[in-house]
């Protein structure tokens, strides 16, 4: 059976507060209240993770399956740890080494995993919209663990959790997202979540890596765009660097990596020019020496390792939120 066309995920869903959630496909259908609920639940989950026996029976009897068509270290391992901590049975599949290599379609793969008893599928795919297609053919719940350049909602939620943990609140904070915006699903999901939570977001990149400026302005009227990182650093509370996604990049978008680092890299001088309370983030994996210098990644301002640690609690909170609807 061939796959149906993947629906466009770029049309935002309207948030419907209090709706019982079945899938987590992006943050565009999360209200601010639901985001805060997830962050509060993640705070409780973090307390569970700190116990001598970190396990609770919330997902006992349920099966969570990781289905990864693209590489991952943080997202895959933290979803697995999150599911196990909630007492779920876990299975995982990567495209490499599976029947995907024999040509099995996404829909048939999802139906096969359903036949094996999955309740929740966590899926990463190189094509934007693939998790939406999976959601149309699966009776349980789908969590998008990153689709093409479209969305990475669990990453955005763990970023929001880490910001709130470090700075105490979200509303009114000035966030600068610097780097390869064009190819970044992390940026897109963060923009939805941050704006919903009342944060002020500025995108900063060379014009070739910003994307369609008119689309940004029409979709997010309050979003700011800057091409001058040094000018906005002194007003930045949260500086988020993004990885240069060379694997998705067409030739010619960057004349030279060294020039890119000079104008848009996070280095010690730029860290020194941030306000005293400001934090530096990066979703990982990093190209150290390109978009962030080693001294910046390891500086006291850096919360990059905390982001990874918090990913487990936030993903537990997401699995918990879906648990009521997850039975096929
Ligand atoms: N941030 C992130 O998605 O990292 P991985 O690709 O290692 O999962």
pLDDT tens-place string over residues 264-317? 999 999 999 999 999 999 999 999 999 999 999 999 999 999 999 999 999 999
pLDDT at 2: 39
Q: Is the CB of 262 under 6 A from ligand 1?
A: no
Long-range contact set of residues 217-225: C-beta below 8 Å, sequence gap at least 24:
219/12, 220/191, 220/195, 222/195, 223/191, 223/195, 224/200
pLDDT at 72 over 60: yes
54 lines ligand 1 (CB under 6 A): no
Q: Is the domain defined by 153-305 classed in CATH 3.40.50.2300?
A: no
For ligand 1, whether the C-beta of 247 sits within 6 Å is: no
Q: Kindly report the pTM of this predicted structure.
A: 0.93
Question: Are the CB atoms for 199 and 176 separated by under 8 Å?
Answer: no
The Cα-based distances of 88 to 52, 84, 91, 148 in angstroms read 19, 5, 10, 28
In angstroms, what is the span from residue 76 Cα to ligand 1's centroid? 8
- For residue 165, the model assigns a pLDDT of 98
133-149 confidence digits (pLDDT tens): 999 999 999 999 999 99
Instruction: Please identify, by atom number, the ligand 1 atom nearest to the C-alpha of residue 124.
Output: 8
CA–CA separation, 283 and 178 (whole Å): 12
CA 1 to centroid of ligand 1, rounded, Å: 31
Residues in a beta bridge with 224: 202
For the structural domain made of 32-151+309-322, what CATH number should be given? 3.40.50.1370
For ligand 1, atom 4, which residue shows the shortest CA distance?
Answer: 74
Ligand 1 nearest atom to the CA of residue 71, by list position? 6
Nearest atom of ligand 1 to the alpha carbon of 73: 7
Contact 32/299 with Cβ under 8 angstroms? no
Mean predicted lDDT score pLDDT of the chain: 92
DSSP string spanning 127-140? Answer: STTHHHHHHHT-SS
> Does residue 74 have its Cβ closer than 6 Å to ligand 1?
yes
pLDDT above 70 as % of the chain: 91
pLDDT of residue 246: 77
Q: What is the DSSP letter of 87?
A: T
Q: Which atom of ligand 1 is nearest to the CA of 284?
A: 1
More confident residue, 246 or 154: 154
- Contact 15 CB / ligand 1 (< 6 Å): no
The residues of the chain that CATH labels 3.40.50.1370 are 32-151+309-322, 153-305
**Residue 75 CA, closest ligand 1 atom number:** 8
- pLDDT of res. 12: 47
């Amino acid at each position: 059976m061939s796959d149906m066309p993947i629906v466009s995920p770029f049309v935002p869903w309207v948030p419907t507060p209090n709706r019982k959630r079945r899938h987590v496909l992006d943050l565009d259908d999360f209200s601010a209240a639901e985001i805060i609920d997830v962050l509060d639940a993640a705070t409780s989950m973090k307390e569970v993770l700190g116990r001598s026996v970190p396990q609770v029976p919330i997902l006992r009897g349920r099966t969570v399956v990781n289905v990864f068509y693209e590489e991952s270290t943080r997202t895959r391992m933290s979803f697995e740890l999150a599911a196990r901590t909630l007492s779920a049975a876990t299975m995982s599949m990567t495209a490499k080494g599976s029947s995907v290599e024999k040509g099995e379609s996404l829909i048939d793969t999802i139906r096969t995993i359903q036949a094996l008893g999955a309740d929740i599928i966590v899926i990463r795919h190189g094509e934007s919209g693939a998790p939406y297609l999976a959601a149309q053919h699966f009776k349980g719940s789908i969590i998008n663990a990153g689709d093409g350049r479209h969305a990475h909602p669990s990453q955005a939620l763990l970023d929001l959790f880490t910001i709130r943990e470090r700075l105490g609140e979200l509303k009114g904070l000035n966030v600068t997202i610097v780097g390869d915006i064009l190819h970044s699903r992390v940026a897109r999901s963060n923009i939805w979540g941050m704006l919903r939570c009342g944060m002020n977001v500025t995108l900063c990149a060379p014009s070739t890596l910003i994307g369609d400026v008119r689309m940004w302005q029409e979709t997010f009227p309050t979003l700011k765009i800057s091409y001058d990182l040094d000018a906005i650093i002194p007003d930045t509370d949260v500086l988020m660097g993004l990885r240069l996604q060379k694997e998705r990049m067409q030739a010619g978008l960057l004349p030279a990596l060294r020039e890119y680092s000079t104008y848009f890299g996070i280095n010690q001088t730029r860290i020194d020019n941030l306000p005293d309370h400001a934090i530096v983030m990066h979703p990982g994996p990093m190209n150290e020496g390109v978009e962030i210098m080693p001294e910046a990644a390891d500086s006291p301002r850096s919360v990059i390792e905390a982001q990874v640690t918090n990913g487990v609690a936030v993903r537990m909170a997401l699995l918990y939120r879906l648990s009521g609807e997850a039975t096929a």
